[in-house]
Structure 1
Amino acid sequence: MDEERGFREKFIQFPSSFGLEVQELSQSKYLVSHRKTLTIKCETDEFETTTEWIRIYNLLSFLHWNEDDKDNAYKYNRKALEKESIVALCNRVWMLRTDGHLTEADEELTEVEKLAASRNELLIQGKAEIAYSYSFFGPRYFSQSIQLYNQLLTEVVDKKDINQKQVMLWKLDLGIVYRKFCNPGNLLSKQDWRERNMDDCIEKAALLFHEVVNSDSPDRWKGQCFASLAELAFSVFTEIHGTKSQKELFPKEIAKTTVDTFLDLALAACDNDSHVLKVCGKLFKYFNKLDKAEEVLRKSLSIMETAYGHHHLALVLKKKLMKRILEARHRGRNGIDRNSTDRSQSQRPLIKSFKKEAAKAFIHVVYIPAYERDAVEEIMTHLDKAIESGNEWASFDKGLMFRHIKDHKKAFKTFLETLEMKDLRTAATVTVACYEHLGACSRDIAKVERDPENKRQLEADAIRYFQKAVVTSACNASQELHYLRDGWMAYPTLKDMLLPQKRDVAQLKILSELSKLLGKYGETLDFYKQIIELDDTQLNDPAIIRGQIQILIKEGHFEQAAVLLDLQSCTEGKYKISEEFYKTIYLKCAFHLLSTDKKEDSGQRFRQAFDVGYADKPKVKPYFDIFFLFDEENEKPESQEHASALANKLTEILGGISGLSITSNSESLLPGSNKLASQTKQMNSSSNIILILDTNEELQGQLNYFIQIAKHIDIEKNSKLCLITIDGCTCPLELTAFLRVDFETILMHCQDDFIRWAQGFLYRLLDVTNSEE
């Protein structure tokens, strides 16, 4: 066991694919697909530098090992070792040891140590390779990749012996990760969205790409940079993400360069790179240059078949098909002949009409006539090839194609299969889209169902799937993106399905909860009103009361929320709402009133927050709300000043402004049974006892006294004990079980900062959370 621990301690010092902190590898179709793509890249001699070959060989070796294909794992490991790679050597150590060749593994590890000591540049290259590997494993690992690349580039900034061509490759890689990082399709959660500064990602990516195109880098790298700049410019132009303009985000030399120009530059730099062609084809599709998009994507697939290429070619072919269908309908309605000179004038409204119909495709899909069967088959073929590689969006689009040809049962089955394809990179948007279309399919099937019972069940299923779509969209990053938030159709469809029927409390409650999740608070309050009109007993429903109060708080109507809670506290429904909820709302209201200089009113709300749980028990109601305890005769004058100042300031804020009853110790604290008894007797009249620790372990006498106080109070009375530690003061082990809040003395110098700290302190003291909910 000790020998194994010793090996691991040595091994983790060096870069290895087997040291990557990634999960779910064995179940990942996404990685199997990319492993196949990497193999094809190796066969097509796509790489120009040794660094690129090494990292691909090492990744292939690692992925084959993960698939239990040891022969190929060792094969690609040997290829990487031929080009001198510390990662390859570390990987070999791991594989040998796992296979039971312990002696050989230990010998190889000794070689790794020697190599790392003598060839620092190999160690740096190894770190870069690990950063690249993290970017390969999907959105969950982009942060690790960015962090490692930035550390690496900072480390080599002054190293003249580092190959600058390699540095440019790392900058290209980092730029690509930043571009992926700010792609909404790669967002995994609301928190993910909130933690990302999209403008910052775009700005950094654009600067890195600009550096590479102005360096002595291979044309293929420059082509990839121009293609990536086109993607970024398109996202800024369409406001997909970020809040600033291209002029603000891009280097001034390219601040006014259009997407079209970037695409031309990309193809001029390198028109035989599959990645460059894929990106250009996708963007040509977005700009409705469908013939050019098809040409470029077919060329990309002729060089190397990829799921990405097949998927986007399928979408281009579908878009051309839909355009033909809509043009035919338009001609039929308006009598415009295919060869008519007026046809060009009708193009703009046709495209506009197409976009409108496409947006409504969720419920009202454009049905494809039978004579377009060949076109449909080609689209399906490309989608199937993309799906083979685990592309869940291709699977979703296949389900949508089944809806277009009125095969609703196959569509339903395909959307279910798509939901089962969740993988390392799966974003919540595909889940929402699938739930929406499962609901739509259920409705489509219900329309032709003759059995009344089956019909009712299908309609109920539709409602259930639409509900899932709304909840999923509300709880993930798509709700933060206006173009996605406004595009989801499940909620308006649910309203259409439920409201025309006889108004029912259960249905209105569903809509009230969903509208609240989506932030449609006006609608939520209206639904609450309708619920109460139908059944006045709902006035005492805790869910409705909480919902109304939460909305008033979110909308900034703090006093109205508190008044509504006051009314509730006078009814029999009082005990249906938690004490935590009462405390939270009263505190929110109190601090809001304090910020608007309504000190008297804020004091009333503070008083209510502290009285929750005591109002019906006057005999045990505390005389003091808060009792401060600190050492006024500390040997260090500055500590005495800090502790006294903090106690006085807290007394001023929490007592003078809030109206709470507060007492503060003013006597010297020395251990002794008589002093302990008198002091604790007084403190037992308080509900909250706060020990201010501004000392160190050497002052054992004071700490012993605090510890005795804590033990005595814990036994004698159910008071709450809280510790405030000043400037990172060491907390004695015996007190670590109690609530602890840190305080920095610098906060003394700014009243606003101090009040914010006091606000957070009170929330913790009363065991409530200052959350949005």
Structure 2
Amino acid sequence: MSTRGPAWSTMATKNTFQGTKAFKIPGAMDEIGDKLVNTPSVFTLKVSGTLNTVSRLEEIKIVLTEEIKHLEKLPELLEHDREELAQAYDLLTWLEFKVGSQKKALELNKKALDLTGAAFSLGNRVHLMWCDGDSVETKVCLSRLARLKREDSQGNQKAETHAHQAYCYLRFGGLNNLLESIALYEKALSTNPNCYLWKLQAGRVYKRLAHPNFLKKGETIDRDLKAMREETARSYFQDVSQHSPNPRLKAFAFSDLASMASIKGDPPHLIRQLCDGALEHNCESPYVLLHCGKSLIRTDISKARQLLEKASDLGPSSHVSFELARCLMNLSKKTPRSAEYFRSEAEKSYREAVRQAPTNMPARYSLALLLENCGKVKEAQKECMKIITTVISQDQCYAQTLMKAYEKAALYQLELCNDKEFVENLSPPVSVSILKDEAENMLIIALEIGFNLLSRTEIETRLRNSLASLFSISLNKKDTSEALQLLSRVFGYAKRPQWSLLALDKLLKHVSDDPDVVVFALKSYHNLGSYEKAYALLQMSIARLGSSAIDDNLHRQLALSAAYARLQFNNRHASLIFRSEFKRCCVKTERLHGAQSPSTVSLTEPEQGDNPACDQSLDVLIFYDDSRDGSQGLSTLGSICRELQKAIQSVFGLNVSQNLQRCCAGGPQIALQYEEMTRAELVLVLLGSEPMCPYFKSFLSFLPALTVRSKDNPKPPRVLVAPTDGSVKVPFVVSLFAKTPLIEPLVASLNAVVERCQDIDSGLCATGTSDPAGHSMETHVRDIMSFFCCLISTEWQSPCTKSATEKDKRKD
């Protein structure tokens, strides 16, 4: 499915329309464009979260579509049912638009308008018409909105709009989105305090905000805030359960109360009473059945299984399958005689959960643990490697699950290395030593992730197996120097080592926080080729001594060498380093411009939430001449752009967008395209060998001004010219910008690395030395590194090139 769509509709932390335009183009409908800024719709929400991948959008779409089906099947739509259905239509409108299905988006928007005629739905219509280039219909919709606003003397329409906006933020999730959602719900409820749908939804926001992920205060949980949010959620649910005239909403409220009671550990009879209340009002809702089933797992597991199986029959979903599997696993522990049967059924449910939502990482990780318990270590290792691959492609939505997946994948691999039958079936170039080295690297990466996520004490409890395994590996190393290096790394991550062996106590005396000693150790690791260990020590040293203790050039050299090593030896986690270095480059550029970077804090203190390591700015915008793209498909240049976008996202972990559809056809899209460029950290001008259309060529003349800081452009992006091949003639107006390596061979190298990671999903194969075309993987990696160095405006010499140079010098 196409991922193209107007880049301005990408919701990010930066506002899409900020201030006045930097230039004026005749016929750009500036007056209408300015009105769009204040037109409430899903398109103008400022949302934090990983919504830049098709798979993430599809996940939300699937859930919404199922909910809509159940709402549409209700025998009678009450007032709040109609509003909730309109809310779902509105959000699904935007999701369809984002994945390129504008026809479906228009159909859903019409359904929403026919259902309630809400101002929010009309706002979506305005943006759909604007993107379609229909200025007449756009003006008609704006007039209707203005009339609704004039007639809204009691503020009910405004409150309804706030509630619709809050609903969208709720469905997107993440700390910032949930906080924005609750603020809007409170505004709406201040106008209409008896809207039980809004109270129910607001209660769910408070309930989610009471999760520990959203309550971290340094290394502790803010218990007062947790208690306040739980109490507010409970009061809203109780109000709905007691006073709402809608039985469906009452059932939802009872089931949410049951879920909270189960988490809190309330008496079993109270949980059963709440579940009975929910089922009495609606026993056919998958949501009610799911939450009641979850709540009863500890107190009435037979009833829980019955409810979850019914929920699966009525509305199969990944969440339902996951909870049913958990229920079956509990049954296997309570009934030893039938344990094998229940484990088998649980495995089926876990696999179904993963099939329904491949990015359901908790389900996949639970499946791996179950396979381990059943003695299927090789299959468990495969599932962990799939987590590593998928989470990276999803911008690490599950950082802690990723950490545990690295640890488990490594431990499984070490266990397989002790399996005689497995070892006998190995064939060159795979060997036990290679597999053990890979496992060691995975353990180090698990600790590296944990170092940035966990507290001082949590590392030793939650990653104890990693620490113990690395300790054991170090004792078995023949090289004493390597053993000491690894042991020092163990202590570095443990922070408060609790090991009692005298030899390790002596080693601690050699660990120093003297910056000169640290720099010497970093350079020594790098010169010895221990790039992963050098980078791990770099991270630890920055956390202890601060970033100023390490020279910027040394930092960059160590980071790029580690990224090179990860790509060279098939390590899928190189994107962490690439993304971090790209952000460091952006921060440095912004400081040179005198602008304060909003992402500076996130480089050292990730946001605590669903995705603590995620930065939502637009990193790269690829601008190309799309005039040859049409209904028959993409042009050659369009296909190259699409491949480049996907590869940059996969390999470098950057947020990448393309130019607006039809921006090269003139008209209002040109002004919007310029606005979008100011959001990007880097604009990549992709040039092909075909003749340029006049509008694209004229637009290039604006690019030099784009890099100049001004009141309307306080953080100008960097601009690079990216020719596809050697025959491309770069126009004079952009000839002064730096040029990247040729894009066509680069895309081939990027795809070679991506395809290799996809093919080796078992994680048990050694790194390939060449691709099917016979090109050296090392060559591909060097091409990728050269391109990335161009993106961050730096130079870097690959280790293999450096070694060759040193050999030549010795010969001379």
Maintained 8 Å contact 1:505/1:531: no
User: In 2, Cα distance between the equivalents of 1:537 and 1:190?
Assistant: 25
Secondary structure at 2:357's aligned position in 1?
Answer: helix
Maintained 8 Å contact 1:178/1:204: yes
1:32 aligns with 2:8: no
Provide structure 2 residue ranges, at least 5 long, that are not aligned to the other structure: 1-23, 523-544, 551-812
* Correspondences of 1:67-466 after superposition (within 5 Å): 67-82=99-114, 83-119=116-152, 120-140=155-175, 141-154=177-190, 156=191, 162=192, 165-166=194-195, 168-184=196-212, 197-237=225-265, 258-285=270-297, 287=298, 289-321=300-332, 324=335, 327-328=336-337, 375=345, 378-379=348-349, 381-388=351-358, 390-422=359-391, 423=394, 426-448=397-419, 449-450=423-424, 454-466=431-443
How far 1:85 sits from its partner (Å)? 1.1
How far 1:127 sits from its partner (Å)? 1.2
Cross-structure match for 2:649 = none
User: In 1, Cα distance between the equivalents of 2:85 and 2:548?
Assistant: 59
Describe the shift of the 1:199–1:499 C-alpha distance in structure 2 as closer, same or farther (beyond 3 A): farther
Describe the shift of the 1:475–1:537 C-alpha distance in structure 2 as closer, same or farther (beyond 3 A): closer
How far 1:323 sits from its partner (Å)? 5.0
Q: Deviations over 1:548-568 (max 9, x none)?
A: xxxxxxxxxxxxxxxxxxxxx
User: In 2, Cα distance between the equivalents of 1:148 and 1:195?
Assistant: 24
Provide structure 1 residue ranges, at least 5 long, that are not aligned to the other structure: 157-161, 238-245, 247-254, 329-337, 339-367, 548-576, 583-773
Secondary structure at 1:197's aligned position in 2?
Answer: helix
Instruction: State the AA in 1 paired with 2:349.
Output: I
**What's the TM-score, normalizing by structure 2?**
0.53
User: In 2, Cα distance between the equivalents of 1:580 and 1:316?
Assistant: 51
Partner of residue 470 from structure 1, selected from 447, 460, 463: 447
Describe the shift of the 1:498–1:258 C-alpha distance in structure 2 as closer, same or farther (beyond 3 A): farther
Instruction: State the AA in 2 paired with 1:263.
Output: C
Instruction: State the AA in 2 paired with 1:10.
Output: K
Cross-structure match for 1:741 = none
Q: Deviations over 1:305-362 (max 9, x none)?
A: 11100111123234434555xx35xxxxxxxxx9xxxxxxxxxxxxxxxxxxxxxxxx
Maintained 8 Å contact 2:167/2:181: yes
1:58 aligns with 2:70: no
User: In 1, Cα distance between the equivalents of 2:367 and 2:207?
Assistant: 27
How far 1:413 sits from its partner (Å)? 2.8
Instruction: State the AA in 2 paired with 1:542.
Output: V
How far 1:123 sits from its partner (Å)? 2.2
Describe the shift of the 1:150–1:481 C-alpha distance in structure 2 as closer, same or farther (beyond 3 A): farther
Cross-structure match for 1:542 = 517
Maintained 8 Å contact 1:188/1:426: no
Describe the shift of the 1:519–1:56 C-alpha distance in structure 2 as closer, same or farther (beyond 3 A): same
User: In 2, Cα distance between the equivalents of 1:465 and 1:377?
Assistant: 26
User: In 2, Cα distance between the equivalents of 1:579 and 1:271?
Assistant: 57
Cross-structure match for 1:564 = none
Maintained 8 Å contact 2:350/2:363: no
Maintained 8 Å contact 1:223/1:265: yes
Maintained 8 Å contact 2:204/2:233: yes
Q: Deviations over 1:484-525 (max 9, x none)?
A: 955764334434444577895654554544545454256599
Describe the shift of the 1:536–1:226 C-alpha distance in structure 2 as closer, same or farther (beyond 3 A): closer
**What's the TM-score, normalizing by structure 1?**
0.55
Q: Is the radius of gyration larger for structure 1 or structure 2?
A: 1
How far 1:8 sits from its partner (Å)? 3.4
User: In 2, Cα distance between the equivalents of 1:490 and 1:416?
Assistant: 17
Maintained 8 Å contact 2:160/2:188: no
User: In 2, Cα distance between the equivalents of 1:88 and 1:578?
Assistant: 50
State the Cα RMSD in Å: 4.2
Instruction: State the AA in 2 paired with 1:400.
Output: L
Q: Deviations over 1:238-286 (max 9, x none)?
A: xxxxxxxx8xxxxxxxx9984444334333443222112111222333x
Secondary structure at 1:109's aligned position in 2?
Answer: helix
User: In 1, Cα distance between the equivalents of 2:42 and 2:461?
Assistant: 39
Instruction: State the AA in 2 paired with 1:103.
Output: V
User: In 2, Cα distance between the equivalents of 1:536 and 1:137?
Assistant: 45
Maintained 8 Å contact 1:516/1:524: no
Maintained 8 Å contact 1:445/1:458: no
Cross-structure match for 2:761 = none
Instruction: State the AA in 2 paired with 1:396.
Output: Y
Structure of higher RCO (CA pairs closer than 8 Å, 6+ residues apart): 2
Cross-structure match for 1:720 = none
How far 1:81 sits from its partner (Å)? 0.7
User: In 1, Cα distance between the equivalents of 2:55 and 2:204?
Assistant: 22
User: In 1, Cα distance between the equivalents of 2:328 and 2:460?
Assistant: 24
Describe the shift of the 1:175–1:409 C-alpha distance in structure 2 as closer, same or farther (beyond 3 A): same
Percent identity of paired positions between Structure 1 and Structure 2: 20
Instruction: State the AA in 2 paired with 1:12.
Output: V
Instruction: State the AA in 1 paired with 2:112.
Output: A
Q: Deviations over 1:612-654 (max 9, x none)?
A: xxxxxxxxxxxxxxxxxxxxxxxxxxxxxxxxxxxxxxxxxxx
Cross-structure match for 2:6 = none
Describe the shift of the 1:195–1:284 C-alpha distance in structure 2 as closer, same or farther (beyond 3 A): closer
User: In 2, Cα distance between the equivalents of 1:459 and 1:271?
Assistant: 53
How far 1:131 sits from its partner (Å)? 0.7
The number of aligned residues is 485
User: In 1, Cα distance between the equivalents of 2:456 and 2:491?
Assistant: 15
